[in-house]
């Protein structure tokens, strides 16, 4: 995929704006180095090899998190750090951007969050000079998952498919922030099948 997206902006420029907007919407303050890391993470995942492993025959496949962790634990220090970072980055990206899809699989988003927290937590303990960065990524992992989910929603809102996906997310979670984003787009909210009532949400 080209790194020139939307109105001629680079992936880094576009994601920098998206991360800044999402942080502002949530009134969330994070370290500058963490914000920089998140932008680079998102831009990096535009390349398929960050998310998939290419086989000798040219086919690609997703690599299970448990296998990445196993290889990290068996590797030397330098390779271990790189593998743990890949594990944390993959867990964060997938749980943020594909959390709804994970809800329909045998491995839910909670598993990805726990693996990501473990990976970044281990890096915080071993990587000198980067402990503050990895420590924040570990301790606020769930917040960053929600941040990425909002960025995914903002990215998709330009299409009807994005609105459908956002509405499905509302029906599943009854999240007030998701409801507000739908209202902003002029979508009328109704209970829908399987959505437990939540007092005050639909007023």
pLDDT of residue 121: 95
pLDDT of residue 143: 94
Mean of per-residue pLDDT scores for the chain = 75
pLDDT, tens only, 73-91: 776 777 889 889 989 999 9
Paired tokens of 81: 């750090």
pLDDT, tens only, 1-35: 334 444 456 778 888 998 999 999 889 999 999 99
The H-assigned helical ranges of 32-108 are 32-44, 65-74, 77-97, 99-102
Range 191-198, long-range pairs (CB < 8 A, 24+ positions): 195/170, 195/171, 198/174
E strand intervals along the chain? 4-5, 9-10, 52-54, 60-62
pLDDT band at 62 (very low <50, low <70, confident <90, very high): low
Paired tokens of 155: 């990215």
Integer CA distances (angstroms), 18 to 52, 58, 143, 154, 155, in order: 24, 33, 15, 8, 9
pLDDT of residue 48: 52
Integer CA distances (angstroms), 118 to 37, 125, 129, in order: 18, 11, 19
pLDDT of residue 162: 59
pTM of the model: 0.68
pLDDT band at 151 (very low <50, low <70, confident <90, very high): confident
pLDDT of residue 11: 75
Contact partners, residue 145, CB within 8 Å, separation at least 6: 92, 95, 96, 99, 109, 113
Report yes or no: 15 and 42 within 8 Å, Cβ to Cβ.
Answer: yes
Report yes or no: 153 and 163 within 8 Å, Cβ to Cβ.
Answer: no
pLDDT, tens only, 100-138: 666 666 667 888 899 999 999 999 999 989 999 999 999
């Amino acid at each position: 995929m080209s790194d020139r997206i939307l109105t001629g902006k680079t992936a880094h420029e576009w994601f920098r704006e998206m991360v800044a907007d999402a942080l502002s919407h949530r009134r969330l303050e994070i370290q500058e180095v963490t914000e920089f890391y998140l932008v680079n993470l998102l831009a990096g995942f535009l390349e398929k090899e960050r998310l998939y492993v290419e086989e000798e025959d040219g086919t690609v496949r997703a690599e299970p998190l448990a296998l990445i962790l196993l290889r990290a634990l068996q590797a030397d220090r330098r390779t271990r750090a790189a593998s743990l970072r890949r594990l944390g980055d993959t867990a964060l990206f997938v749980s943020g951007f594909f959390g709804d899809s994970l809800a329909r699989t045998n491995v839910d988003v909670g598993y990805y969050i726990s693996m990501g927290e473990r990976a970044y937590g281990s890096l915080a303990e071993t990587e000198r000079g980067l402990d503050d960065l990895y420590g924040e990524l570990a301790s606020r992992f769930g917040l960053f998952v929600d941040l990425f989910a909002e960025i995914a929603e903002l990215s998709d809102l330009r299409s009807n498919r994005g609105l459908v996906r956002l509405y499905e997310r509302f029906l599943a979670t009854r999240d007030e922030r998701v409801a507000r984003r739908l209202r902003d787009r002029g979508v009328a909210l109704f209970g829908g099948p399987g959505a437990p009532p939540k007092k005050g949400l639909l007023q």
